């Protein structure tokens, strides 16, 4: 039996369509963002600045005058004054090199940018679209900088359909961000004997949106009625898998398993929040900036991100699903305690989780102590 369009429509939930749009952006396909669902309103065609080559730029320019959008953090780094927006509109540089330089600071030393940068004041509707565009780029784990073109009010639906482009709305992007904290489904649950913690189990949680899974590792048989030891571990490919000495993640991961095993059981949550939530490639760009002398905090800001982009909703949702509402948290990060408490988990004790530094991570740890309030 043929599937009716109405059937498909009801299954194109907000959070799902947003991940499809994020995938398109990663492939260099523009996405149209509208102020609201349905006809009318304002809209914007958006392309990631880091993928704006001459060919794509030429095609985008056929639809209108392009502008560049950068985040408040990137604008501060570039010393651009504006009216306090989260997304700042600038006149578009003439070529794709200029656009990419605005987005990606890793080439700042070899190709210094030439100002002055011309700010374009956005209306309230335009500002909402601009902010949504940068939020969508972050969901795609791309740098939060875009080339965009304003579209006429009556154009977007037909244009998107005609060109095979995705049309999403500001409310859909907001709904997706909120949905990240809920709708986690258990999709696998198995025994996982590990070195130092042979009696362990792993539970995989997948967001209903189809986004990346988070994992709960239950060491021993922790009882929900006890305030058991819990470690929130944000994914770190370089530290966890490659044994990088630049951070303390590898030691913290194996150390947490040992401590929890010795305590008679508990939980390690392995969160898909690589690079404090900016994604692996952006973290590697942050490392390239650290090679140039910037610290871990400044590197995030130079790339246009917040210092920490992590959410605590998924961790709290997993703990609630497993029945652990009162915990003892292994961390040096006061924000993890506050974040979990905001999400309804009672942290009855913060348990220190420090390891000796080495010559490669001493500066990173000192920066966490001095700039982000870690107890180190």
Ligand X SMILES: Nc1nc2c(ncn2[C@@H]2O[C@H](COP(=O)(O)OP(=O)(O)OP(=O)(O)O)[C@@H](O)[C@H]2O)c(=O)[nH]1
What residue ranges bind ligand X (CB under 6 A)?
232-236, 247, 249, 252, 273-276, 278, 283, 286, 296, 300, 331-333, 336, 353, 374
From the list ligand X, Zn ion, none, pick the one residue 331 interacts with, judged by a Cβ distance below 5 to 8 Å according to partner type: ligand X
Is 226 an active-site residue? no
Would the annotation count 247 as a binding residue? yes
35 binds, among ligand X, Zn ion, none (CB under 5 to 8 A by kind): none
How big is the CA angle at 308 (ends 303 and 312), to the nearest 5 degrees? 145
- For residue 150, the surrounding DSSP H or E stretch is strand 145-151
Tell me if 92 is assigned to a ligand binding site: no
- Residue 278's binding partner, choosing from Zn ion, ligand X, none, with beta-carbon cut-off 5 to 8 A by kind? ligand X
> What's the closest the beta carbon of residue 50 comes to Zn ion, in angstroms?
23
Establish whether 95 is a catalytic residue. no
| Neighbour tally for 126: CB within 10 Å | 21
Q: Cα separation of 261 and 193, whole Å?
A: 12
Shorter beta-carbon distance to ligand X: residue 71 or 126: 71
Within 13 A of 250's CA, how many CA atoms are on the CB side? 15
Q: Which is nearer to Zn ion, 126 or 252 (CB)?
A: 252
The span of 5-13, 235-243, 297-305, 321-329 binding Zn ion (CB under 5 A) equals: 235-243
Q: Which residue of the set 86, 295, 298, 308 is catalytic?
A: 308
CB of 169 or CB of 361, closer to ligand X: 361
**Which residue's CB is nearer to ligand X, number 184 or number 249?**
249
d(CA 129, CA 33): 7
CB nearer to ligand X: give 97 or 355.
Answer: 355
Measured CA to CA, the distance from residue 362 to residue 357 in angstroms comes to: 5
CA distances from 301 to 148, 247, 294, 295, 336 (A): 22, 19, 10, 10, 20
Q: How many residues does the chain have?
A: 376
Find out whether 231 is annotated in a ligand binding site: yes
Provide CB contacts within 8 A for 283, sequence distance 6+. 238, 274, 275, 276
Query: Is 220 known as a binding-site position?
Result: no
What distance, in Å, lies between the first and last C-alpha atoms of the chain? 63
Among 70, 217, 236, 330, binds Zn ion (CB under 5 A): 236
Q: Enumerate binding residues for Zn ion (CB under 5 A).
A: 236, 239, 247, 249
Catalytic (active-site) positions = 308, 310
Annotated binding-site residues for GTP read 231-235, 252, 274-276, 296, 331, 336
């Amino acid at each position: 039996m043929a599937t009716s369009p109405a059937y498909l429509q009801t299954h194109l939930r907000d959070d799902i369509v947003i991940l499809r749009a994020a995938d398109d952006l990663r492939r260099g396909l523009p996405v149209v963002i509208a102020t609201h669902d349905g006809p009318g309103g304002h809209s914007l065609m958006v392309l990631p600045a880091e993928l704006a080559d001459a060919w794509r730029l030429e095609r985008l320019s056929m639809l209108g005058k392009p502008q560049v959008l950068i985040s408040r953090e990137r604008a501060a780094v570039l010393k651009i004054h504006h009216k306090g927006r989260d997304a700042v509109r600038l006149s578009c540089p003439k070529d794709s090199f200029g656009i990419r330089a605005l987005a990606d600071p890793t080439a700042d030393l070899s190709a210094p940018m030439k100002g002055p940068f011309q700010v374009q004041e956005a209306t309230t509707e335009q500002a909402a679209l601009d902010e949504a565009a940068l939020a969508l780029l972050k969901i795609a784990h791309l740098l939060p900088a875009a080339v965009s073109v304003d579209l006429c009010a009556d154009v977007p639906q037909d244009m998107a359909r005609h060109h095979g482009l995705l049309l999403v709305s500001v409310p859909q992007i907001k709904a997706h961000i909120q949905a990240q904290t809920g709708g986690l489904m258990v999709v696998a649950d198995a025994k996982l004997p590990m070195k130092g913690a042979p009696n362990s189990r792993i539970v995989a949680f997948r967001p209903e949106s189809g986004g990346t899974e988070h994992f709960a590792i239950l060491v021993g048989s922790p009882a929900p009625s006890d305030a058991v030891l819990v470690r929130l571990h944000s994914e770190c490919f370089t530290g966890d898998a490659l044994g990088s000495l630049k951070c303390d993640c590898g030691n913290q991961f194996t150390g947490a398993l040992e401590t929890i095993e010795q305590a008679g059981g508990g939980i390690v949550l392995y969160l898909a929040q690589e690079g404090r939530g900016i994604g692996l490639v952006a973290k590697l760009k942050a490392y390239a900036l650290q090679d140039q002398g910037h610290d871990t905090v400044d590197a995030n800001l130079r790339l246009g991100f917040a210092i920490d982009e992590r959410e605590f909703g998924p961790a709290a949702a997993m703990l609630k699903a497993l029945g652990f509402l009162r915990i003892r948290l292994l961390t040096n990060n006061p924000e993890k305690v506050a974040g979990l408490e905001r999400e309804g988990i009672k942290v009855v004790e913060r348990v220190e989780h420090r390891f000796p530094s080495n010559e490669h991570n001493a500066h990173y740890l000192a920066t966490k102590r001095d700039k982000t309030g870690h107890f180190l």
